[in-house]
């Protein structure tokens, strides 16, 4: 039986956060990053139960193991953030650093559990963990302004965690210099660390859940780079039949809103949502009714267009004009613009993936040239 108190609240909160994240985040939207974050929440929950068992048995070794496991989960949060950004591979040096921290910190705390210098070891471990909090902040900033609101809770708690960990190490140095007693300081540190763990769990659950679910498409929308299964199946079938009949008047367009990060910086979340919705509506309104449209995220649309070259040019001109004219009706009252990549089948071929890749590269060139224009793809 877990006695009422801080330990009981930590057990309850860690269990709730784990259930909420796995149930609303990992299971609906599984990914490598979500799997790592799920392990982090599970590890935090196991740590809380170990702490409760340590309190019940008054076992310092078990309490030290619990603390080490909880600290190790900070490394998993950082690893998951790098995975979500797509920059962490199995061969990179970050893996042994994170795994080494997860293994060595609990081991060091367990070995020092019955030693009179245990508090010093704990505060050194917390100071080292501050590095992973700082790494997490860097990764959250690199997510960009489009995910600013989602990243804010975890970024703030990571900053507070790093600051308090360093301050605790300074306090320990002062205590050692003044030959102060370790007992009262250790009890205070346990209370503060329990409260900090609870706050961090809530902040991590909010941010990581939002980041995990952010990739979930709304109705008819699929995440960038994925392409909705319905669009892929229909478009690939149309292209196969066009190839069989020798029909060369098909093209793929990739339409992107220019400078979405600047628009997000200059607006609120609600205002940016209205801008992106208006952009998508304007793109759809400028396309022929027989076009197949796949909105891959709030600022990018992929189109399969059955039109000869001259008609495609007219569509592109009308699309750019319509997007620009609609900007004055957005919350920011600014002139919007779009960059379009155009990949015709007579240049690229009838493979849908190759057409989208070529159109994306052309859209990149259009944006690099200042935006508000279209660029025709070249043969891969």
According to the model, what pLDDT value does residue 225 have? 42
Within a domain: residue 221? no
According to the model, what pLDDT value does residue 118 have? 85
Looking at the structure, do residues 185 and 269 belong to the same domain, yes or no? no
Looking at the structure, do residues 290 and 187 belong to the same domain, yes or no? no
Domain holding 263: CATH number? Answer: 3.30.70.270
CA proximity to 338, closest of 281, 267, 380, 290: 281
Looking at the structure, do residues 113 and 259 belong to the same domain, yes or no? no
Looking at the structure, do residues 49 and 177 belong to the same domain, yes or no? yes
End-of-domain residue from the set 180, 214, 248: 214
Average pLDDT by stretches of 10, the chain with 380 residues: 73 96 92 93 95 88 92 94 74 77 93 85 91 94 83 94 89 76 70 89 96 60 51 89 90 92 75 81 89 87 92 92 73 79 92 92 92 85
As for how many domains the chain has, the answer is 2
d(CA 162, CA 78): 14
List, in order, residues 6 or more apart from 29 with CB less than 8 Å away. Answer: 212, 213, 215, 216
List, in order, residues 6 or more apart from 50 with CB less than 8 Å away. Answer: 62, 63, 65, 66, 69
Looking at the structure, do residues 188 and 289 belong to the same domain, yes or no? no
Within a domain: residue 236? yes
Is the separation of the CB atoms in 316 and 286 below 8 Å?
no
Helix (H) or strand (E) holding 304: strand 300-305
d(CA 364, CA 348): 17
Looking at the structure, do residues 238 and 210 belong to the same domain, yes or no? no
d(CA 347, CA 114): 73
**212-229 residue pLDDT tens:** 987 544 333 444 444 566
Residues in the chain: 380
According to the model, what pLDDT value does residue 223 have? 42
Q: Which tokens sit at 200?
A: 């961090």
What's the alpha-carbon Rg for the chain, to the nearest Å?
Answer: 27
CA proximity to 367, closest of 255, 228, 222: 255
Q: Counting beta carbons within 10 angstroms of the beta carbon of residue 290, is it exposed (0 to 12), middle (13 to 18) or buried (19 or more)?
A: exposed
According to the model, what pLDDT value does residue 332 have? 64
According to the model, what pLDDT value does residue 354 have? 92
SS3 content of the chain, % helix, strand, coil (to 5): 70, 10, 20
Q: Counting beta carbons within 10 angstroms of the beta carbon of residue 26, is it exposed (0 to 12), middle (13 to 18) or buried (19 or more)?
A: buried
Within a domain: residue 223? no
d(CA 208, CA 81): 9
According to the model, what pLDDT value does residue 162 have? 92
* pTM: predicted TM-score of the whole model, two decimal places: 0.71
According to the model, what pLDDT value does residue 327 have? 57
List, in order, residues 6 or more apart from 174 with CB less than 8 Å away. Answer: 180
End-of-domain residue from the set 181, 214, 247: 214
Give the structural domain span for 303: 229-376
Looking at the structure, do residues 141 and 18 belong to the same domain, yes or no? yes
The position carrying tokens 């997007």 is 323
Looking at the structure, do residues 180 and 321 belong to the same domain, yes or no? no
Looking at the structure, do residues 109 and 257 belong to the same domain, yes or no? no
Within a domain: residue 107? yes
Looking at the structure, do residues 347 and 281 belong to the same domain, yes or no? yes
């Amino acid at each position: 039986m877990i006695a009422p108190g801080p330990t009981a609240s930590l057990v309850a909160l860690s269990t709730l956060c784990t259930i909420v994240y796995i149930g609303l985040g990992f299971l609906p939207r599984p990914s490598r990053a979500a799997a790592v974050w799920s392990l982090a929440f599970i590890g935090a929950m196991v740590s809380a139960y170990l702490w409760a068992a340590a309190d019940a048995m008054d076992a310092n070794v078990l309490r030290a193991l619990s603390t080490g496991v909880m600290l190790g989960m900070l490394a998993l949060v950082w690893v998951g953030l790098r995975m979500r950004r797509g920059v962490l591979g199995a061969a990179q040096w970050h893996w042994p650093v994170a795994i080494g921290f997860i293994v060595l910190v609990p081991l060091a705390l367990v070995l020092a559990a019955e030693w009179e210098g245990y508090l010093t070891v704990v505060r050194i471990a917390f100071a080292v963990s501050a590095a992973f909090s700082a790494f997490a902040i860097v990764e959250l900033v690199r997510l960009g302004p489009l995910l600013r609101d989602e990243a804010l809770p975890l970024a703030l708690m990571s900053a507070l965690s790093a600051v308090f960990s360093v301050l605790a190490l300074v306090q320990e140095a002062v205590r050692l210099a003044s030959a102060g007693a370790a007992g009262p300081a250790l009890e205070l540190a346990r209370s503060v660390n329990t409260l900090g763990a609870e706050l961090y769990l809530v902040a991590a659950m909010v941010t990581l859940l939002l980041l995990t679910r952010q990739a979930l498409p709304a109705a008819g929308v699929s995440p960038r780079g994925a392409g909705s299964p319905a669009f892929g199946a229909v478009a690939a079938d149309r292209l196969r039949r066009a190839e069989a009949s020798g029909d060369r008047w098909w093209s793929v367009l990739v339409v992107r809103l220019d400078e979405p990060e600047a628009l997000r910086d200059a607006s609120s979340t609600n205002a940016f949502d209205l801008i992106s919705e208006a952009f998508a509506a304007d793109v759809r309104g400028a396309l022929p009714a027989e076009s197949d449209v796949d909105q891959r995220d709030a600022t990018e649309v992929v189109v399969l267009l059955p039109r000869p070259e001259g008609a495609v040019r007219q569509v592109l001109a009308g699309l750019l004009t319509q997007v620009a004219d609609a900007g004055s009706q957005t919350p920011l009252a600014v002139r919007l613009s779009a960059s379009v990549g155009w990949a015709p089948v007579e240049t690229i071929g009838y493979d849908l993936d190759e057409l989208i890749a070529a159109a994306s590269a052309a859209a990149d060139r259009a944006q690099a040239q200042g935006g508000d224009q279209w660029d025709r793809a070249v043969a891969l």
